[in-house]
């Protein structure tokens, strides 16, 4: 069994199932993926709850809502002007090229869809992969700050570039949606407990036992 798979198994045992992505629909996953950029999930929930309360958590409603109103609703998730613009950019794109249908958009093969997502304003590699994995359910491994920090701390790799780390995970694991889904969520869980930026030493990190 590969080292990565062993780490995955340990994490599963330690943290249990993570039930990601928290969201009721693929579109809510997309919205959450944009809103959670450099922001904790708790604040995203406040913003999403605002959108639900106003009944504008849908492609059509987001397209029609005034930008100033959208800004006010997403305010709790921070960068509210930037994020309102990004949400608008996504729904405009969806309506212009895919009849406003995520289902149609997601019909494309993974690599082509990834490229298209990356071309949309406000969608970078992590957000694109989150959408691919958690909304479109395609096997695209999601890398975030925790993934890189944990990997380096466990000496799995030295590199810190997004695509290199992504490639490391994808080439050492089965391309399985469920596995990628759970693994990323578990790395976030581990990071929150043991691999904070503010705590450079993680002496109680349970994973160190596997990795030496």
Partner DNA sequence: ACCCAGGTGGCCC
Partner DNA sequence: GGGCCACATGGG
The radius of gyration computed from the CA coordinates of the chain, to the nearest angstrom, equals 18
Of 41 and 63, the one with the shorter C-beta distance to DNA is: 41
Binder among 91, 138, 144, 181 for DNA (CB under 7 A): 144
Size of the site for DNA (CB under 7 A): 44
With CB under 7 A as the contact rule, which of the stretches 8-16, 57-65, 90-98, 195-203 interacts with DNA? 195-203
Of 8 and 90, the one with the shorter C-beta distance to DNA is: 90
Of 2 and 119, the one with the shorter C-beta distance to DNA is: 119
Residue 1 beta carbon to DNA: minimum distance, rounded to whole angstroms: 27
With CB under 7 A as the contact rule, which of the stretches 3-11, 41-49, 174-182, 203-211 interacts with DNA? 41-49
- Measured CA distances, 173 to 6, 15, 17, 178 (Å): 11, 20, 19, 12
Question: Can you say whether the dihedral through the CA atoms of 141, 145, 149, 152 is positive or negative?
Answer: positive
Q: What is the DSSP letter of 135?
A: I
Q: Any contact of residue 182 with DNA (CB under 7 A)?
A: no
Give the footprint of DNA on residues 99-138 (CB under 7 A).
120-128, 130, 134
Return phi, psi of residue 91, to 5°: -70, -35
Task: Quickly list DSSP for 169-206.
Answer: HHHTS---HHHHHHHHHHHHHHHHHH--TT----TT-T
- Measured CA distances, 156 to 92, 105, 181 (Å): 40, 35, 20
The Cα–Cα gap between 142 and 158 comes to: 18
Q: What is the DSSP letter of 133?
A: I
Contacts of 78 (CB under 8 A, 6+ apart): 38, 39, 43
Of 44 and 59, the one with the shorter C-beta distance to DNA is: 44
Q: Any contact of residue 15 with DNA (CB under 7 A)?
A: no
Q: Any contact of residue 194 with DNA (CB under 7 A)?
A: no
Binder among 198, 201, 204, 209 for DNA (CB under 7 A): 198
CB atoms within 10 A of CB 69: 12
Q: Any contact of residue 88 with DNA (CB under 7 A)?
A: no
Residue 115 beta carbon to DNA: minimum distance, rounded to whole angstroms: 13
Interacting residue ranges for DNA, rule: CB under 7 A: 20-22, 32-33, 36-43, 46, 75-83, 120-128, 130, 134, 144-146, 161, 188, 191-192, 196-198
């Amino acid at each position: 069994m590969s080292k990565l798979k062993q780490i995955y198994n340990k994490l599963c045992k330690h943290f249990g199932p993570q039930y990601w992505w928290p969201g009721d629909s693929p579109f809510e996953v997309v919205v959450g993926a944009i809103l959670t950029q450099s922001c904790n999930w708790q604040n995203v929930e406040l913003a999403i709850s605002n959108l639900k309360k106003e009944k504008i958590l849908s492609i059509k409603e987001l397209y029609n809502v005034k930008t100033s109103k959208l800004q006010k609703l997403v305010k709790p998730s921070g960068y509210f002007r930037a994020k309102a613009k990004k949400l608008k950019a996504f729904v405009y794109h969806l309506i212009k090229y895919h009849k406003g249908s995520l289902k149609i958009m997601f019909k494309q093969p993974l690599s082509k869809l990834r490229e298209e997502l990356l071309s949309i304003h406000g969608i970078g590699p992590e957000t694109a992969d989150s959408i691919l994995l958690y909304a479109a359910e395609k096997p695209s491994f999601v890398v975030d700050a925790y993934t890189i920090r944990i990997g380096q701390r466990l000496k799995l790799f030295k590199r810190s570039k997004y695509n290199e780390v992504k490639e490391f995970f994808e080439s050492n694991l089965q391309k399985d949606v469920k596995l990628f889904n759970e693994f990323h969520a578990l790395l976030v869980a581990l990071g929150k407990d043991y691999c904070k930026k503010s705590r450079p030493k993680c002496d109680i990190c349970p994973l160190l036992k596997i990795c030496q």
